[in-house]
Amino acid sequence: MPHRKKAMTSEQARNVRQQGHDDAKEFAHLIGLTSDYQNDPQAKKDVVDLAGDAHSVKSGAKKWQIFLYAHSRFENDKIFKRLNGLGQLLMDCLNVFPDSYDEYVSDKPKYKNLLKIPMQKLKEKLTNKETLDAFFEKSFFNAGEVKYLTIKVENDFHIFHCDDVIKALVENVTVENSKARQKGQFDNQKVVFKYNGRTIGEIEIRRDSSVHYKEVKFWMGKDKTFNLLNDKISEVKILKNRLYAHGKSIKTFTKY
């Protein structure tokens, strides 16, 4: 029986965050910003460029954590509330679990069975293309606050316009619920995004410790996401050494 992958340690998480900050700073310098460049990672604004437009900079991790939110975020965020009931469904997924982590551990099968219903409803909501579009726009770009997704691949930075990213994802991913793969697992514990039949991202409920308990995690795989965008947004222009603009960003990202 395969072993469950261990959760990232606090030190490993700090290292990942620091690498992300270092890569964002490297991109900022590459586009002509000084060492005191503007950023606001909490709002997904990793770098604000010379034109005043924000970039979400993604780099070396195999999986990008697009968000990790507790119940209060969905309860208080007005945009999540308006996303065709998605915010409420995400809270419903969290609410099936007891407040106490120890109580959850004492009867995991009970709560995993309860999770099936709201997770199936969440999947159904996201099979609607308009709802999926709004979900990706909110999750990746904070509902229009961020203009570009900039991805570091090896030593190069690739700039994608938010409109192109959302369109490519919505038109090419399929939405499913997870299936149990071995004894003791349960169906319908996650919402799974697939591209060409392979998992590219997931929405899951994190409950792996009393520290990270009852949180919604949305992640996307770096390589598969970049490959999808690179395949579907075919026009690309080299702006300078190590800097590439794709699709709509060729015309909009001009000040650097």
Per-residue pLDDT band for 45 (boundaries 50, 70, 90) equals confident
Q: What is the pLDDT of residue 2?
A: 42
What's this model's pTM, rounded to 2 decimal places?
0.92
DSSP 8-state secondary structure symbol assigned to residue 14:
H
Q: In terms of DSSP bridges, do strands 213-221 and 198-207 run parallel, antiparallel, or are they unpaired?
A: antiparallel
Distance of CA 196 to the CA centre of its chain: 19
- What is the token pair recorded at 204? 């899951």
Map out the domains of the chain as residue ranges.
Answer: 10-252
- Strand boundaries in 86-225, DSSP class E: 148-153, 156-161, 174-177, 191-195, 198-207, 213-221
- Lowest mean pLDDT: which of 27-41, 62-76, 101-115? 27-41
**Partners of residue 159 on adjacent β-strands:** 150, 245
Identify the helix (H) or strand (E) that includes residue 68: strand 63-69
- What is the token pair recorded at 19? 């690498």
Residue 41 has pLDDT above 80, yes or no: no
Q: What is the mean pLDDT of residues 33-55?
A: 82
Per-residue pLDDT of 134-186, as tens digits, reads: 999 999 999 999 999 999 999 999 999 999 999 999 999 999 999 999 998 99
Q: What is the mean pLDDT of residues 120-141?
A: 97
Classify residue 194 by burial, with Cβ atoms within 10 Å: 0-12, 13-18, 19+.
middle
Per-residue pLDDT of 173-227, as tens digits, reads: 999 999 999 998 999 999 999 999 999 999 999 998 888 899 999 999 999 999 9
Q: What is the mean pLDDT of the chain?
A: 91
Phi-psi category of residue 208: left, alpha or beta, with phi > 0 → left and psi -120 to 50 → alpha: alpha
pLDDT above 90: percentage of residues in the chain:
80
pLDDT above 70: percentage of residues in the chain:
90
Instruction: Spell out the residues 6+ positions from residue 248 whose beta carbon is closer than 8 angstroms to its own.
Output: 161, 163, 164
Q: Which residue has the higher pLDDT, 60 or 172?
A: 172
Distance of CA 157 to the CA centre of its chain: 19
Per-residue pLDDT band for 129 (boundaries 50, 70, 90) equals very high
Q: What is the pLDDT of residue 3?
A: 44
Sign of the CA dihedral with 226 first, then 229, 231, and 233 last? negative
